Structure 1
Amino acid sequence: MGEEASSTAMVQVSVREFDPNKDRESVEAVERICEVGPSGKLSLFTDLHGDPITRVRNSPTFLMLVAEIGEETVGMIRGCIKTVTCGKKLQRLDKTTTKQVPVYTKLAYILGLRVSPFHRRMGIALKLVQAIEKWFSDNGAEYSYMATENDNEASVKLFTEKCGYSKFRTPSILVNPVFAHRVSTNSSRVTIIPLAPADAESLYRSRFATTEFFPRDIDSVLNNKLTLGTFLAVPKDCRYSHDTWQGAEEFLLDPPGSWAVVSVWNSKDMYTLEVKGASRVNRALAKATRLVDRALPWLKLPSFPNLFEPFGFQLMYGLGGFGPDAVTMVRALCGLTHNLAKEQGCRVVATEVSSTEPLRFGVPHWKMLSCEEDLWCIKRLGEDYSDGAVGDWTKSPPGFSIFVDPREF
C-alpha cells in the first residue's frame, strides 16, 4: 500500500504499510506508552515474540499500517478480513439440496488502533481508520466492525461520529482466575469427550453455522496450532463415552437430551496481559490468598493469582449447547478449561459471549476482572453481496448468541 500524506495541525502525517524489519521497535514503543483498557482491568502489555502483527496473523487476509511524522512512528492500526454468517434470520434455500444454508458476508475487523499520547487530537486516528477502510473496500469487504470498551468515550466518538459506525452488539467478556488448586468437572454426572478437529468442525457447522459472526473457515481455526482442543460434555448416563464414541455424524443423528461444547485457544503464545493501577494493599491481599491456597489446597479457596506482572491466558471459544442441563455441562467444561490452563501456566481463563446468551450462567467469572458490556460498532462499506440480497446487517436485531473468533480476541 502506498503512502498517503496530509497536513494536520501544521505537521505532515504519512500512513504506510508496516515493515517488520524497519518498524518493529518503534511500534512496540508506542504500544508500551498507550493505555489499553480501564485502570484495574486486564490490559494488553506486550507481544511475547516482539511481533506487533501477531494478533491478526492467523487470519486469512490481514494488514497493519503505521502513521509517521517525519521518521517518528506516532500511531498504528491493524485490520483483517474474513467471511462470516450474518445470523439465523439471514438464510436462503439451497436449490440443489433443498436445505437451508448460512448466508455469508465478507467482514473486516479493526483492532489495535493506537496513537501516541503526545500526538493525539491531530486527526491521526481518523486518518488511520480511513486508510484501513480503503484497503477493506479494495479487497471486497462488505462490512467493517470494531470492539471497544463501552465507556471509552474517545473511541466511541471517533467511530460513531466521525467514521460513520453504529453501535451494534454489547457482548460480555467474562474472566475467571486460575487458582492454585484444581476445580471440579462434575465427573460423577458429566462425561467430557475430546473431539478430533474433523468431528469438531462437523458439530459446529451442523449446529452453529448460522450464529452471528460464525467464520466460514472454522476448519482453519480448529486446526490452528493455538487451538488446544475441542471438548464435548454429555450426561454420564447417556450412551456416549470415550470408549463408545463413533464420531460426530453418529452423535448428530441421535444426541442426548443435553450437551455442550467448547474449544480452547492458547493466547499465552501470542501476547501477555497485565492488571494495572492496583494499590500496594490490594497486591498484598492478593498475595495472601495465594499463600493460603498453596498451603491448604484442599480448602479450594478462591485465591487471586499474580496478575500484576505480564501473564498468559486461555480463551474459550465456540461455547454452545442444547437441552435443560446445558448450563451444567458448560460448568463442567469451564472446570476442565481451568485445570488445563493451570497445567499450561496461565493465570486466567476468558471468554466472550452475547449479553443474552443463556449459557453464560454456567461460566464462572470475577466481576472485577470482567467487562459486562463490551461494545461492537459496525459500518456498511458496500451495497453488493456475494451471496445475494440479504438486506442491511447493521439494522438487524441481535440474536441470543454470537461466535467469537479467537484470532481477533
Structure 2
Amino acid sequence: MTVVREYDPTRDLAGVEDVEHRCEVGPSGKLSLFTDLLGDPICRIRHSPSYLMLVAEMGTEKKEIVGMIRGCIKTVTCGKKHDLNLKSQNDTVKPLYTKLAYVLGLRVSPFHRRQGIGFKLVKMLEDWFRQNGAEYSYIATENDNQASVNLFTGKCGYSKFRMPSILVNPVYAHRINVSRRVTVIKLDPADAETLYRLRFSTTEFFPRDIDSVLNNRLSLGTFVAVPRGSCYGSGSGSWPGSAKFLEYPPESWAVLSVWNCKDSFRLEVRGASRLKRVVAKTTRVVDKTLPFLKLPSIPSVFEPFGLHFMYGIGGEGPRAVKMVKSLCAHAHNLAKEGGCGVLATEVAGEEPLRRGIPHWKVLSCAEDLWCIKRLGEDYSDGAVGDWTKSPPGISIFVDPREF
C-alpha cells in the first residue's frame, strides 16, 4: 500500500536523498546527470511564494520512501491587453496575470515504477494547487523523455505548450574578455525592478513578484550593456536610472540577471569513460597553465559542480546580440570567481537574442518541453481566454527559482 503525504524533514531526509541518488536525470543511453540538493530537498522551491513537497511511502511495519514530488505557486503574465480608457493616441499595453502552479522534481524509485506512484503524486499535488487557487499547472521535461511525456500528456491531461532551449556553456579556467566597445553597468535591485516592469512585464511567464526574485540573496545582480562612448557608457555617475534610460535609450542595449544555483544544489555527470575524463582533465591543466591561449577547457563535471543561471535576458537595437554576448562574458567571469563549473540559461526557441549566448551543444538541450493544464472541470472546453490554446510568443521569462 502506498501513502502520499507531506514531506517531513525530521524523518524523511535520508529516504528522499536515497531516491534522488537512484534516479538519473535525462533519457537513457546518455550520460546520467545526478542532482545533489545539499541536504535540503525543498531548496529548489523554498524561494517561491507558496510551495509544497510530497512523498510516497510504501510498507506497513518497515516504511520506505519510494517517490516524491515538489510544487510551487506564483502569479505570472499569461498575455497582454490594451488599456483603451487612457486618453492617449497610443494604447497602453498592460499584462494579464494568472495564478500558475509548477510541478518539478518528480522522482520514483527505479524498483517501484509502473505501479501508478507517479500518477498518484501528481494528482495529490494538483489537489493542493486547486485548494490554493491556482488556475493553471505546468511541468518541464525533456522532449525525448518518453516516460515523462506519456505520464503528463496521457494520464494527467496536460498538453504540449512551449519548447524553449536550455543553453549551457562551460566555465573555463581563464577569464573571457568583455568587448572594449561595451560598458557593463550593474543596477541596484530597485532600479532593476523598474527596468523589468517597464519593459518586460508583458513577456509570457513574467513573475509578478519580480522584486522578490531580484532581492533574493541568490540573485547576484542585474547588468546592462551599452555602447562605450554613449552618454550612458562614459563612466561612473552617467546612469540616470532605468525609467530615464528607457525613455531615451541608446541605439543598442541589453540586460540580464545572474542567479547563484551553486548554493542550492550541485550536479554531477556520471557514466563517462576513463578516456573522456582524462581528456577533460588535460584541457583544464593546459588552460590553467597557459591561460593566454584561451583554450575552451572542459570543467570537472564528473564530480559535484555548481552553476550560475542567467535570466531576464532582453535588449533592443541592431547590436543587441553583441551586447548580450558581452553580458554573457561578464557572467562567465562571475561564475569563474564563484567556483562554478557551468553557466546556463533558458530561452524561447525563437528568441532572436539567443545568437549572442555562447553554449556547447553537447551540454545543452535544444528542446525542453513545457506542458500545461488548465485546472478545473472546464480546462478542455476551448473557451476564449484559455491560456493553453494561445500561440507562443518570441520570448519567455524563465524564473530562476524554478530552474
Query: Same fold judged by TM-score > 0.5?
Result: yes
Deviations 1:235-287 (A, max 9, x none): 11210033211211211110111100000000000000111221111111111
Counterpart-to-counterpart distance in 2, 1:92 and 1:51? 44
1:62 aligns with 2:51: yes
Counterpart-to-counterpart distance in 2, 1:261 and 1:200? 9
Name the counterpart of 1:86.
78
Q: 2:22 aligns with which of 13, 33, 38?
A: 33
The amino acid of 1:144's aligned partner reads S
Name the counterpart of 1:182.
175
Name the counterpart of 1:146.
139
Moved more, 203-212 or 234-243: 234-243
Alignment of 1:221-300 (within 5 A): 221-241=213-233, 242-300=236-294
Name the counterpart of 2:325.
331
Counterpart-to-counterpart distance in 2, 1:95 and 1:270? 46
Conserved 8 A contact 1:314-1:348: yes
Name the counterpart of 1:5.
none
Counterpart-to-counterpart distance in 2, 1:271 and 1:165? 28
Counterpart-to-counterpart distance in 2, 1:74 and 1:42? 20
1:118 aligns with 2:111: yes
The amino acid of 2:98's aligned partner reads T
* Closer/same/farther in 2, CA of residues 349 and 293 from structure 1, 3 Å limit: same
The amino acid of 2:105's aligned partner reads G
1:47 aligns with 2:41: no
| Runs of 5+ unmatched residues, structure 2 | none
Conserved 8 A contact 1:142-1:383: no
Query: Alpha-carbon deviation of 1:100?
Result: 2.7
Helix, strand or coil for the counterpart of 2:70?
strand
Helix, strand or coil for the counterpart of 2:372?
strand
1:171 aligns with 2:149: no
Helix, strand or coil for the counterpart of 2:44?
helix
Helix, strand or coil for the counterpart of 1:370?
coil
The amino acid of 2:33's aligned partner reads S
Query: Alpha-carbon deviation of 1:184?
Result: 1.5
Query: Alpha-carbon deviation of 1:318?
Result: 0.3
Alignment of 1:368-383 (within 5 A): 368-382=362-376
1:195 aligns with 2:187: yes
Q: 2:3 aligns with which of 14, 24, 36?
A: 14
Conserved 8 A contact 1:314-1:350: yes
Helix, strand or coil for the counterpart of 1:26?
helix
Query: Alpha-carbon deviation of 1:99?
Result: 3.3
The amino acid of 1:154's aligned partner reads A
The amino acid of 2:286's aligned partner reads V
Deviations 1:128-173 (A, max 9, x none): 0000000001111010000001110000000001000000011000
Task: Give % identity.
Answer: 67
Counterpart-to-counterpart distance in 2, 1:92 and 1:132? 35
Deviations 1:328-353 (A, max 9, x none): 00000000000000001001000000
Conserved 8 A contact 1:15-1:68: yes
The amino acid of 2:318's aligned partner reads P
Query: Alpha-carbon deviation of 1:51?
Result: 1.1
Counterpart-to-counterpart distance in 2, 1:250 and 1:155? 47
Counterpart-to-counterpart distance in 2, 1:183 and 1:226? 23
Counterpart-to-counterpart distance in 2, 1:250 and 1:204? 13
Name the counterpart of 1:6.
none
Query: Alpha-carbon deviation of 1:36?
Result: 1.2
Moved more, 238-247 or 53-62: 238-247
Deviations 1:193-231 (A, max 9, x none): 000101100110111111110000000000000000000
Deviations 1:28-73 (A, max 9, x none): 111011111246557242112x010110000000000001112211
* Closer/same/farther in 2, CA of residues 249 and 390 from structure 1, 3 Å limit: farther
Helix, strand or coil for the counterpart of 2:133?
coil
Counterpart-to-counterpart distance in 1, 2:304 and 2:84? 49
Deviations 1:106-129 (A, max 9, x none): 000000000011110100000000
Conserved 8 A contact 1:40-1:275: no
| Runs of 5+ unmatched residues, structure 1 | 1-11
TM-score by length of 2: 0.94
Name the counterpart of 2:351.
357
Alignment of 1:200-211 (within 5 A): 200-211=192-203
* Closer/same/farther in 2, CA of residues 390 and 222 from structure 1, 3 Å limit: farther
Helix, strand or coil for the counterpart of 1:288?
helix
Conserved 8 A contact 1:41-1:369: no
Name the counterpart of 1:3.
none
Conserved 8 A contact 1:56-1:80: yes
